C-alpha cells in the first residue's frame, strides 16, 4: 500500500541509502534518525560492496568486541604468562586495532575514520580510546556492542610510554632489524606511530611487505592524527578491495564519516536549536570556516580581505552596491532573498566586519545577508567537554550548509566538507603578507587531505612522488606535499 511505500521511503532516507542499520534505540541517539531532516540527500551513493563490507564488519565487531569470550582470550595474550595457565588463549581469529586518543577534534575524527577503513581492510576490530569525551560527543556506531576501549584494558597504563623509540614500536623494531616472519609470530602487540612527526621507519607501515608481517599480530595500537586513507590506496594488496568499496574514489570520508559519527543527544540539541534559530528560514545557507593557526596574530586585515574577495568573486555572497541608484529600497513586489552565513572561528573580528558591511550597505542583488557565529572560544581547549561539544556542533552545522568555504590546512574544515559531501571553496594559506590571487579555489573532492604521506616506492626501495602513481591519488589543493583521493 502507499503508506507502506512511504514508510519504506522514510526508512531508506533516514538510514542514508542502506549505510546505516535499523535496530538502535531511537531515544538514545536522535541524530541517527533525524539527520536527513536537516541535510539534503547525499549526492554520492554508497556502493553495494561497501554496504556488504560494513555488514560483515558489524558481525565481526559483535563477535569479537569487548565483553565477548574471544575478546577476553585476546586480551589474555597481553598479560604475562602464569605458570599453570592452561593454554586456551585462542582468540578465535579476532584481531584488533586500537586508536589512541590524540590531537584536536577534527584530527581525531578524520584519523578514526582512517583507522576504521584499515580495520575493515584487515579484518580487525576497531576500538577507540577516549573514554568520557568520545562517549559524550558521539553515539555508539555499532549495534549491540561498543567501539570504546574498556577502561581496564591491559595496556592502557602503558599508553603514555608508547612512542617512536619504545620497545614495541613497529618503526623502531624495523630500524633495529627485529622484525621478520618468525619474530612477529610471537608478538602479542605492536605500537604503530602514524602521527604527523613519524619517521621513515614508521612510514614502512604503508608498504605491502610490512602489511603482511603485521597480519597476524593480534593487537595493533595506533597513534595518529592524520587521514591516511590515500596511502592505503597505494598498497597493492588493498587496491582491488578499495576499488570495489569506493568506485567514486574521493568519497571515502563522506561515507565512513556519515556511518561512524553521529552527534550525541547533547550535541544534537546544540545543532538543531542553532539551525532552527538562525539557518532554517534562509533561502540559502553559506558556511564560512575561518581557522588561523597563529593564534597571536588572529584574523589579520589581509585574511579578512582575502575572505571577502573569495566570497564575492566566487559569487557566494553578493557585492555591495556603490551607486546611489542602486541604494533605492526594493519595491514591494520584488522578492528579497535571505542568505544566512554561518561563520565559525575562535575569534570574532571577521564576523563583526562582515556583519557591519552587510548592514551598512545594500547589496547589488538586493539580497539580504545575515551573518551568524555560534561561538568564539578564543583558543583550542581540547580537554574541556563543552568546548568540544561546540566544536563538533559547529563542524556539523557547517556540513549542513548549501555552499561551504573552508580554511587551508584545517581538519576541522575537512570534517565539515566531508560530511556534507560537496566540494568546498578552500581559502589558500597566506605564507607572507602579499595578497593571494586567487584567494580561494574549489576542492577536487570532498575528502580530507593526508598531510604527511610517505614518499617511498616500496618495490624499488627508493623515494618517489606518491602523488604521481595513480590518477585518483593526487596532491592536495591546500598542501602541495599532501595526498588526497579524487
For ligand GDP, the closer CB: 151 or 379? 379
Report DSSP state, residue 92.
T
Whether the Cβ atoms of residue 444 and residue 250 lie closer than 8 Å to each other: yes
Whether the Cβ atoms of residue 253 and residue 269 lie closer than 8 Å to each other: no
| Smallest distance, ligand GDP to C-beta of residue 444, A | 19
| Smallest distance, ligand GDP to C-beta of residue 346, A | 5
- 134 touches ligand GDP (CB under 6 A): no
- Which three-class secondary structure state does DSSP give residue 476? coil
Instruction: Tell me the C-alpha distance between 252 and 115, whole Å.
Output: 12
Instruction: Tell me the C-alpha distance between 375 and 390, whole Å.
Output: 8
For ligand GDP, the closer CB: 97 or 342? 342
Q: What angle do CA 157, 159, 162 make, to 5 degrees?
A: 135
Q: Mind giving me the DSSP string for 381-429?
A: -TT-HHHHHHHHHHHHHHHTSSEEEEETT-HHHHHHHHHHTSPPEEEPP
Q: 73-77: long-range contacts at Cβ-Cβ below 8 A with a sequence spacing of 24 or more? A: 74/218, 74/219, 75/153, 75/154, 77/188, 77/189, 77/218, 77/219
Q: Is 279 buried (19+), middle (13-18) or exposed (0-12) by CB count in 10 A?
A: buried
Using CB under 6 A, which of 115, 346, 404, 473 touches ligand GDP? Answer: 346
162-191: contacts with ligand GDP (CB under 6 A)? none
Instruction: Tell me the C-alpha distance between 407 and 449, whole Å.
Output: 12
| Smallest distance, ligand GDP to C-beta of residue 26, A | 28
256-295: contacts with ligand GDP (CB under 6 A)? 291
For ligand GDP, the closer CB: 176 or 384? 384
**Cell 554496504 sits at which residue?**
51
How many residues bind to ligand GDP according to rule CB under 6 A? 20
Whether the Cβ atoms of residue 424 and residue 406 lie closer than 8 Å to each other: yes
Strand partners, 287: 342, 404
Lay out the site mask for ligand GDP across 326-345 (x = CB under 6 A, - = otherwise).
------------------xx
For ligand GDP, the closer CB: 62 or 429? 429
| Smallest distance, ligand GDP to C-beta of residue 446, A | 16
Q: 356: phi > 0 → left, psi -120 to 50 → alpha, else beta; which? A: alpha
For ligand GDP, the closer CB: 107 or 188? 107
For ligand GDP, the closer CB: 196 or 459? 196
| Smallest distance, ligand GDP to C-beta of residue 320, A | 25
For ligand GDP, the closer CB: 194 or 391? 391
| Smallest distance, ligand GDP to C-beta of residue 107, A | 4
73-132: contacts with ligand GDP (CB under 6 A)? 103-107
For ligand GDP, the closer CB: 105 or 341? 105
Whether the Cβ atoms of residue 437 and residue 316 lie closer than 8 Å to each other: no
| Smallest distance, ligand GDP to C-beta of residue 331, A | 39
| Smallest distance, ligand GDP to C-beta of residue 229, A | 16
Whether the Cβ atoms of residue 65 and residue 141 lie closer than 8 Å to each other: no
For ligand GDP, the closer CB: 106 or 263? 106
| Smallest distance, ligand GDP to C-beta of residue 282, A | 20
291-330: contacts with ligand GDP (CB under 6 A)? 291
Lay out the site mask for ligand GDP across 407-446 (x = CB under 6 A, - = otherwise).
---xxx----------------------------------
Whether the Cβ atoms of residue 253 and residue 135 lie closer than 8 Å to each other: no
Contacts of 251 by beta carbon, 8 Å cutoff, 6+ apart: 44, 421, 445, 446, 447
Q: Which residue is nearest to ligand GDP (CB)?
A: 104
For ligand GDP, the closer CB: 164 or 410? 410
| Smallest distance, ligand GDP to C-beta of residue 103, A | 6
Instruction: Tell me the C-alpha distance between 266 and 263, whole Å.
Output: 8
374-413: contacts with ligand GDP (CB under 6 A)? 375, 377, 380, 382, 387, 390-391, 394, 410-412
Q: What is the dihedral of CA 229, 234, 240, 246, to 10 degrees?
A: 30
For ligand GDP, the closer CB: 106 or 454? 106
| Smallest distance, ligand GDP to C-beta of residue 100, A | 15
Please give the residue ranges that form the binding site for ligand GDP (CB under 6 A).
103-107, 291, 344-346, 375, 377, 380, 382, 387, 390-391, 394, 410-412
Amino acid at each position: 500500500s502507499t503508506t507502506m511505500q512511504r514508510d519504506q521511503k522514510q526508512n531508506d532516507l533516514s538510514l542514508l541509502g542502506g549505510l546505516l542499520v535499523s535496530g538502535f534505540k531511537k531515544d538514545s541517539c536522535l541524530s541517527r534518525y533525524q539527520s536527513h531532516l536537516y541535510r539534503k540527500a547525499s549526492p554520492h551513493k554508497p556502493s553495494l560492496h561497501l554496504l556488504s563490507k560494513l555488514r560483515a564488519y558489524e558481525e565481526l565487531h559483535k563477535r569479537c568486541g569487548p565483553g565477548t569470550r574471544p575478546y577476553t582470550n585476546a586480551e589474555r595474550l597481553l598479560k604475562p604468562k602464569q605458570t599453570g595457565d592452561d593454554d586456551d588463549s585462542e582468540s578465535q581469529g579476532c584481531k584488533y586495532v586500537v586508536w589512541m586518543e590524540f590531537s584536536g577534534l577534527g584530527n581525531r575524527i578524520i584519523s578514526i575514520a582512517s583507522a576504521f577503513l584499515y580495520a575493515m581492510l584487515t579484518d580487525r576490530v576497531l576500538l577507540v580510546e577516549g573514554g568520557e569525551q568520545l562517549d559524550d560527543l558521539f553515539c555508539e556506531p555499532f549495534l549491540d556492542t561498543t567501539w570504546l576501549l574498556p577502561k581496564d584494558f591491559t595496556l592502557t597504563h602503558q599508553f603514555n610510554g608508547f612512542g617512536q623509540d619504545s620497545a614495541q614500536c613497529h618503526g623502531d623494531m624495523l630500524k633495529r632489524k627485529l622484525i621478520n616472519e618468525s619474530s612477529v609470530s610471537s608478538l602479542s602487540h605492536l605500537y604503530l606511530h602514524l602521527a604527523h612527526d613519524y619517521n621513515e621507519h614508521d612510514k614502512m607501515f604503508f608498504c605491502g611487505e610490512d602489511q603482511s608481517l603485521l597480519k597476524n599480530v593480534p593487537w595493533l595500537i595506533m597513534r595518529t592524527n592524520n587521514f591516511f586513507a590515500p596511502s592505503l590506496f597505494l598498497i597493492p594488496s588493498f587496491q582491488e578491495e578499495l576499488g570495489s568499496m569506493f568506485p567514486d574514489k574521493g568519497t571515502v570520508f563522506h561515507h565512513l564519516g556519515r556511518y561512524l559519527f553521529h552527534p550525541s543527544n547533547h550535541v544534537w540539541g546544540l545543532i538543531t536549536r542553532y539551525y532552527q534559530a538562525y539557518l532554517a528560514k534562509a533561502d540559502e545557507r553559506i558556511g564560512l570556516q575561518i581557522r588561523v593557526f597563529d593564534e597571536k596574530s588572529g584574523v589579520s586585515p589581509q585574511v579578512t580581505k582575502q575572505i571577502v574577495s573569495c566570497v564575492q568573486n566566487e559569487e557566494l555572497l553578493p557585492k555591495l552596491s556603490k551607486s546611489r541608484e542602486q541604494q533605492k529600497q526594493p519595491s514591494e513586489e520584488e522578492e528579497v532573498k535571505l542568505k544566512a552565513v554561518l561563520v565559525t572561528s575562535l575569534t570574532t573580528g571577521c564576523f563583526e566586519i562582515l556583519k557591519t558591511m552587510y548592514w551598512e550597505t545594500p547589496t547589488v542583488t538586493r539580497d539580504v545577508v545575515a551573518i551568524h557565529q555560534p561561538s568564539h572560544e578564543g583558543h583550542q581547549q581540547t580537554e574541556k567537554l563543552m568546548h568540544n561539544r561546540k566544536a563538533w556542533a559547529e563542524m556539523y552545522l557547517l556540513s549542513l550548509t548549501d555552499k561551504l568555504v573552508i580554511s587551508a590546512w584545517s581538519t576541522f574544515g575537512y570534517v565539515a566538507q566531508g560530511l556534507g559531501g560537496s566540494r568546498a571553496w578552500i581559502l589558500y594559506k597566506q605564507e607572507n603578507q602579499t595578497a593571494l590571487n586567487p584567494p580561494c579555489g574549489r576542492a577536487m573532492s570532498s575528502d580530507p587531505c593526508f598531510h604527511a604521506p610517505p614518499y617511498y616506492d616500496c618495490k624499488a626501495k627508493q623515494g618517489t612522488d606518491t602523488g604521481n602513481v595513480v590518477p585518483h591519488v593526487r596532491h592536495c589543493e591546500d598542501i602541495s606535499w599532501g595526498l588526497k583521493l579524487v
